[in-house]
Chain A
Amino acid sequence: MFSIYAILGVSLNLVVGYTGLVSVTQAAFYGIGAYATALIAKTAGFGFFSSMLIGVIVAGLIGLLIGLVLSKFRDDYYVIVTVGFNIIAYGIFMNWHSLTRGPLGIVAVPRPKIDFLGLHLDFNNNLLFLALVLVFLALIYFLARFIAKSSFGRVLKAIREDEKAIQVFGYNAFYFKLAIFVISAGMAAVAGSFFASYLRFTSPNTFVLMESVLILSMIILGGLANLKGSLLGAFILVLLPELMRFVGFPNEIAAEMRQIVYGVILVLLMIYKPSGIMGEYKL
C-alpha cells in the first residue's frame, strides 16, 4: 500500500506543491483508474497493462474536463469545486449500478501477467507484485522529477507564486495548469489500477472524500514541492496504523484514533512547520 500511496502523493504534489492548486479530488482519479482497469480487464478481457493504459487515458480525459471547469476558479473556491468533483465521482461509483455494481463493487480483478519473449511472470505472488508496483513508483517518481527540474516545472512554481505576474512574461498559465492537472490525474489512475489488482476488488468506499484528504495530508506532512517528501509522507501515514497497533489501541477504536492522530499531526504541522517535514513551499 505504501507504493500505491506514494504514487498518489507524488502525483498530487505536482498539482498542490509545485503549482499551488489545492486539489481535494485525487481519490476520484484513483477510483477512475481502479474501475477502468477492473471493468476493462474483466468485461473486455484485456490484459492488466492494456487496461491500466486505458484507465490512464480515461482519467486524463476526465482530468482535462475537470481542469477546464477548475480554470474558472481560484483559491478557496478552487478547493471547494475539487471537493465537489470528488463527491460527484463517488456518487457515480456508488450509483451507476449497471457499470460499477454500486456498493457491491467489482470482484475478481485479475493480477498482471507478463508473457513476453519467453519471459513468464505471474504477479499473483505478492512479492513480485510489490516489485512491479515499486518499478512503476520509480518510473512515476522520475517522470515527476523530470517535470520538476524542467523549464515547465519552473513555470509551474512561478504560477504558484504569482499567476498574474508570470503571465506578463508571456506564459499562458491556463495551459500549464491544465497540463499538470491531466498528468497528475493519469498518474493517480496508475495507483488505482494497482490498487484494484492488489485487492482483486474495488468498491466506492475507497474513493471517498476522506481518501483525497488523506493523500493531501501525506504530501503536506512529507513536504510540499518536494518529491522525496511525498514518499516520506506516504510512508509515515501508511505505517502509522501499524505503529498504533503496537501502542496498544484496541482494534475497535484504532480506526477512529488513526483519524484523530492524522488531524493532530496536521494541526501541529501547520503551527510549527507549515511547509511539512521536507517541504520547499508553504501554503
Chain B
Amino acid sequence: MKNDKNIIEVKNLVKHFGGVYAVNDLSLKIPRGEVVSIIGPNGSGKSTLVNLLSGMVEINSGVVILNDAEKLKKIKSYEIQDLSITRTFQEVRLFEQMTVIDNLLVVLTNRSVFGSFFEVHKKYHLEEVERMLQRVGLEAKKNQLAKNLSYGQRKLLEIARALLMKTEIYLFDEPFAGLFHAMIKTVSGIIKDLRKEGKTVILIEHNMDLIRELSDYVFVMDEGSLLAEGEPDSVLKKKSVIEAYLGK
C-alpha cells in the first residue's frame, strides 16, 4: 500500500441473517486514493460488506472508521452522502419509470424537503448531466425511460449517477458484469480517471484480468472472513485463493 492514511478501516465487522454469518469478524483497511478490489466466490460476503458500508443493511457489531477518525457503529443509507460515499448495485437499481435525464438530475438537486420544494433544476444542472451522458455514451438516450435501456446501458447509467455524486469513495459492485467490450473499456477508463483524481474505488469483481489491470490492492473474502490480501499478482497466485474459487 502506497498510502499510510486509511480512508476506511473496518474492525471486527459482523453481519448475520438469522444464523448465517454473511460477514464474520471482518477487519481490513482501505487506503485513500487507491483502487481496491474485493474478490471471493459467490456468497463470500462481498456485496454484504458493500451494503454495510453504504447503510443498506444494519451492522450487528464492529465498527467502521472513516479517515482514521470518525467511528461509526451505525450507518444510515441517507447519510452516506455526507460521509462522501456513493455506490452502484450488483443488480442495477435505476428509477425505471423516469427518463435517463431525470435519473441523473435527481442526484444533483437539493436534498432537503423545503429546499427541493422551491427548486427547479437549472441550466448548469442540465449541462452537467449532458456532460456525464457524453462521458458514458448515453447522450442519444437522454429522453428515454430507464426501463427501456439495454442491460449494458443501464449499468452505464448507474455508474454515471454515482459519478455525479462527486464523492471521495466509490463502491462499485460488479460494474463490468454483462457488459460488452466497448462498455468495459468505458468503465475501466472511468475507474482509471477516478484513481488519477485521487478518489478511492472499492471494486467487487470476478474478472481477474480486469482486477489485475485496475487494482492497486486486493482483498479476498471467503465465508464472510478475510482469506488473503495483497497486491493483485501475488494474491491471485496464492493456493488458498485458488482453492476458494475452484474448490480443493
Contact residues of A with B, CB < 8 Å?
147, 149-152, 154-155, 157-158, 160-162, 164-173, 175-176, 179, 280-282
Contact = CB atoms under 8 A, between A and B. Distances in A.
Interface of B: 54-56, 76-82, 86-87, 89, 93-98, 102, 105-107, 109-111, 113, 115-121, 161, 165
Nearest to B118: A150
A150 B120 contact: yes
16 contacts: A150-B118, A151-B106, A151-B109, A151-B110, A154-B98, A154-B105, A157-B97, A158-B98, A160-B97, A164-B56, A165-B89, A165-B94, A166-B95, A167-B78, A169-B81, A179-B117
Contact of A165 (B93, B102, B121): B93
Contact of A170 (B81, B96, B119, B161): B81
A157 B102 contact: yes
Q: Which 3 pairs of residues, A with B, have the shortest CB-CB distance? A: A170-B81, A151-B109, A161-B95
B93 A155 contact: no
B107 A161 contact: no
A29 to B, nearest CB: 20
Contacts of A175: 113
Nearest to B120: A150
Contacts of A173: 78
Contact of A169 (B97, B116, B165): B165
Identify the interface centre among B87, B113, B121, B161: most chain A CB within 10 Å of its CB: B113
Most buried by B among A164, A168, A173: A168
Contact of A158 (B106, B113, B165): B106
Looking at B54, B77, B118, B121, the one whose CB has the most chain A CB atoms below 10 A away is B77
Contact of B106 (A149, A167, A169): A169
Contacts of A147: 117
A210 B81 CA distance: 43
A161 B107 CA distance: 14
B78 A154 contact: no
Contacts of B115: 151
Contacts of B80: 168, 170
Contact of B111 (A171, A280, A281): A171
B121 A151 contact: yes
Contacts of B120: 149-151
A158 B94 CA distance: 9
Provide the main secondary structure of the chain A interface. Answer: helix
Given A168-B77, A170-B82, A152 B113 contact: yes
Contact of A161 (B81, B97, B118, B161): B97
Contacts of B118: 150
A251 B76 CA distance: 59
A120 to B, nearest CB: 36
A190 B172 CA distance: 48
Given A149-B120, A151-B120, A152-B113, A164 B77 contact: yes
Given A169-B107, A170-B111, A175-B113, A152 B95 contact: no
Nearest to A275: B97
Contacts of A282: 97
Contacts of A151: 105-106, 109-110, 115-117, 119-121
A94 to B, nearest CB: 35
A233 B89 CA distance: 38
Max count, chain A CB within 10 A of own CB: residue among B97, B102, B109: B97
A155 B121 CA distance: 12
Contacts of B121: 151, 154
Contacts of B76: 167
Nearest to A175: B113
Nearest to A157: B98
A6 to B, nearest CB: 23
Given A170-B82, A172-B78, A154 B106 contact: yes
A147 B113 CA distance: 11
Nearest to B96: A161
A161 to B, nearest CB: 4
Most A CB atoms within 10 A — which of B79, B94, B118, B120?
A: B120
Contacts of A149: 120
B77 A167 contact: yes
Interface centre among B54, B94, B102, B116 (most CB of A within 10 A): B116
A171 B113 CA distance: 9
Given A168-B80, A170-B107, A179-B113, 12 more contacts: A150-B116, A150-B118, A151-B119, A151-B120, A154-B98, A155-B109, A155-B116, A161-B97, A165-B89, A167-B55, A169-B81, A170-B81
A169 B56 CA distance: 12
Nearest to B109: A151
B175 to A, nearest CB: 15
Contacts of B96: 161-162
